[in-house]
Amino acid sequence: MTTRTAGPIISPSILAADFAALGEEVRAVSEAGADWIHLDVMDGHFVPNITFGPDVVKALRPHSAKVFDVHLMIAPADPYLAAFAEAGADAISVHVEAGPHIHRSLQTIRTLGKRAGIALNPGTPASAIEPLIDMVDLVLVMTVNPGFGGQSFIPSTLETIARIKAMTAGRDIDIEVDGGITPENVGLAAAAGANAFVAGSAVFKGGPAGYAERIAAIRAGAGGTVAC
Ligand code: DX5
Ligand code: ZN
């Protein structure tokens, strides 16, 4: 059920895309070399911003065959997991901080046949997810405080990434970083142990003509070879 890829995985976040043309944006970034498409779902409660729900994920699904990497910044998450699965999510990440029954949420995601991800905020220690390691296919380490694109990478998260890398040694678990990732700093996250890289502003800022070049630059910064 896992879809691990050799080399860095680049997951552009459509939070930084043109919301008036999301279908075209997803198509363009897929053709430009994205490995996954990162979809940020915010509820105005768990995070101080609101984005979109399962209907938008469903509407975007025909525009790309790439892995839909759905990042739920919502609380509660459980009532919506089936809807996101049915909408076409391939991986669904829930926050460890988002509720008292996170183990149940991860069980539900796997029961729905999707890759289960656990996300953690910069203020949360790596140890918070240790009891959940058997339940996850993906760990999403927030490298900014979730809620908005365009923030600066928080360096203390490198230690969290390294701890999670050690914790997941020998297991088929992706370690994904999210927030403030650029071609310049992505190498630090890769060196700490991340293999999947979300990038919003660093991909979308500047428009579609530069998507391929900017994805390639992030891939190269993460230590990957540039292939199209
Ligand atoms: C933040 C989101 C991120 C965000 C990343 O709450 O989870 O996925 O879109 O955007 P950049 O790359 O601009 O920091
Ligand atoms: Zn995200």
Ligand 1 atom nearest the C-alpha of 42 is 6
Q: Look at residue 174 and tell me if it is in a domain.
A: yes
Residue 72 resides in a domain: yes
3, pLDDT greater than 60: no
pLDDT value at residue 221: 98
Task: Please give the pLDDT value at position 226.
Answer: 62
Summarised one tens digit per residue, pLDDT across range 72-95 is 999 999 999 999 999 999 999 999
Please state the separation of Cα 103 from the chain's center in Å.
Answer: 19
Model confidence at 225, in pLDDT bands (50, 70, 90)?
A: confident
pLDDT tens digits, 109-138: 999 999 999 999 999 999 999 999 999 999
**pLDDT tens sequence across 132-158:** 999 999 999 999 999 999 999 999 999
120 lines ligand 1 (CB under 6 A): no
Q: What is the CATH number of the domain that holds 142?
A: 3.20.20.70
In a domain, 210, yes or no: yes
| Cα distances (angstroms) measured from residue 223 to each of 48, 162, 216 | 34, 17, 11
Tally of structural domains, the chain: 1
For residue 2, being part of any structural domain is answered with no
98 part of a folded domain: yes
Q: Nearest residue CA, atom 4 of ligand 1?
A: 149
User: Per the domain annotation, does 226 fall within a domain?
Assistant: no
Predicted pLDDT of residue 222: 98
What does the pLDDT read at residue 227? Answer: 53
Average pLDDT of the chain is 96
How do the residues of the chain divide into helix, strand and coil, expressed in percent and rounded to 5? Answer: 40, 20, 40
Residue 120: the pLDDT is 98
| Residue 44: domain span | 9-221
177 CB under 6 A from ligand 1? no
The verdict on residue 35 lying in a domain is: yes
Residue 162 reports pLDDT greater than 60: yes
Nearest CA to ligand 1 atom 6: 146
Residue 2 has pLDDT above 80, yes or no: no
Spatial CA neighbour of 174 closest among 97, 116, 100, 226:
116
pLDDT of residue 228: 44
59 in any annotated domain: yes
Average pLDDT over residues 162-179: 98
